[in-house]
Structure 1
Amino acid sequence: MLDLLSSLIAMTPSRLAIAVSTCLFISASPAWAADLAYKKLSGTSFELVLSSDTSLTVDQAQAMMAEPAVKLCNGKIPEFGKYKFSSNDPVAGQPASNKTSFNMVQILSCVADIPERPKQASSKLSEDDIARFKIEGNKLSNAYMSAIDNGYYEVAYNMLGKSLKNLGPLEEWQTRTVAYQAQIGKQLSREFWRITVYDNPPNAYQAGTYVAVDYETKQSIAPITCGYLIWFQPAGTKNNFTLMREEYGHISDDILKSTAATDMGKLRKQMKCKT
C-alpha cells in the first residue's frame, strides 16, 4: 500500500566517495557492500547504478544511495524516481563461485520541495463529490498515459503541475520518457485499481483536493509495471487538476521468469503493485 511518496527515500546513513561516471564503494553496514556509479542526465537529475555481491531489497539499495544522493543534490532535496533492478541468487548445490549479483539503476531528481502523498482526514466532501473526483482522476490518468503511449508528449507535459515542470523543460522530460518507454515496451493493458480522494489533508503543502490513482500496466517488454499518479486542484478552483506527483517501477520479463511463484507476492509488494 502506498502510504507516503516520501517513503521511497530511505535516509539511512552511508559512506560516500563521488566521481563522475566512476565506480564508488559504499557500505551501509558490515553485511552490505556495493559499488555505486552515477551519470548526470540534466542540471537536476542523475542516473545512479548500484552493483553488489549481496542480495538486496529495493529499500536497502535506496538506503545505500541516500547519502550520495544528498551530496549530489548539493542543498536541494533528493527524490528517487523510476528504477529497475536485477538479482541473481546462487542456486542450491552449485559451487561457491556462483555468487549473488544485484544491480539496480535508479533515477534521482533534485527538487526544491517534495510534496508528500496526502494523509487521509475527515472530509467535507459529499459522496457525490468524491465519486465525481474519482471519475475525473480516472479520466485524467487515462488521458495522460494515452498521450504518452501515442507520442503526444507536449499534450502530456502540459498536464504536469508546476513542481514537475520545474524539474526540466519539455525536451528533457520527453527524452527521459521516451527512454523509459524503450525499456518497458508498448503498453498492452492498464488497470487503475485504486483511486483515493483527499480533501485538504493536514500534511498537504497547499490547500485543495488531491486524487491519488494507483495503477498497474502490462507492457510488451516489462510484463508488470506499477505506479501511481497524484492529481491536484487548488482550493477555490474548479476543473483545474494538474499532475503533481508520479512514481513507477517495473518487473522485466527476465526477472519474472527467474522468480519462483512462491516469491511473486513478496516481489509485487516490494514493487508497490496490487496485492
Structure 2
Amino acid sequence: MRNEIVVAIDFSLCSINALEHAISIAKLSKSNVVMVFVHNPNKPQRTIYKYSDPIDEATKLFEELSERYQSQLPDSRLIYRIREGKVYQEVVGEARERDAWLVVAGTHGASGFEEFWMGSNAFRIVSNAPCPVITIREGIHVDHVLKRIILPIDHTLETRQKVPIACKLAQLFDAEIHVLATYAASSHEIMVTTNHYAQQSINYLQKANVKMVKASVKGKNMLENTINYAKKVDANLIIIMTEQDAKMTNLFLGPYAQQMVNRSPFPVMCVHSKELIRVLTA
C-alpha cells in the first residue's frame, strides 16, 4: 500500500473542507494528496470560472488549489487528476490504481460543475473503495487536528478490525481514542462478547502507548447513542465498520453505516472487513 490519500474534488466548499482534512492527515503521515475531479460528459456542465470548457475550468481551479495548499505539505506532494466517467467509479478507480491507504470525500455539495455528491455517489464510494474512507457532510466544520476519536465496539466478529487504523491515526496526532462498548440489546451473551472485544481493543491500544478512554452506551438506537457520546466529549472523528456482506458489495452499506454517514455531525471513517477488501481488490 502506497503512502497516498485520494480526495474527491468538485470545487464546492464541502469538497474543499474534505481536502483540508486530508491535508492535515497527509502532513503528519507524509502522504501525497491526490485531488480527483470527475467530468461526466453526459451531464450538462455549468462553468464557475472564466473558461467555457469544464476541463479548462478544472485545470485552472486545481492550479489555484495547488498554489494555496502545497506549502502545507513540505514533505509530500499535492497533485491532481481529471478523469472522465461516473463519479464513484473514477474516484474508486484512482484509489485502486494508486493503492491509496485512504480516501476522503464530502458527502454533499452542489458546485458549478454538477451536483457531485447528491444521490448515492458517496455511499457507492464508501461501498466500493479498496481502503478506508472518511466522509464529511456538508456544513460540518470541526477541528482538522484529530484530538478525540470515537471507536464503537459491538459484539460482531469484525468490530475489532478497525482498531489498527484508529491506532495509526491516534499515533500521528497524539489523539485520544474512546473505546465505546455499545450494547444494543440486554442479552447477557452479547454483553459478555462486547466486553471481551472492547478489552482486546484496549489491550492493543495500550501496547501501542495510545491515549485511551473506556466508555459504554446502552440502548436500541446505537446511532443516536454514539453521536450523543461523541458530542459530549467533543470528538472530531468516528470510526465504524461498513457492515457489508462480501457477496453484495456493489451498492449496499449496512443500515447503521449508511445512517452514520448520512447523519453524523462529525467526520466518519468507514472501514471494510478483511474479507470484503479481498473481494474489492481482486
**TM-score, structure 1 as length reference:** 0.29
Higher relative contact order (CA 8 A, sep 6+): 2
* Bigger strand share: 1
**TM-score, structure 2 as length reference:** 0.28
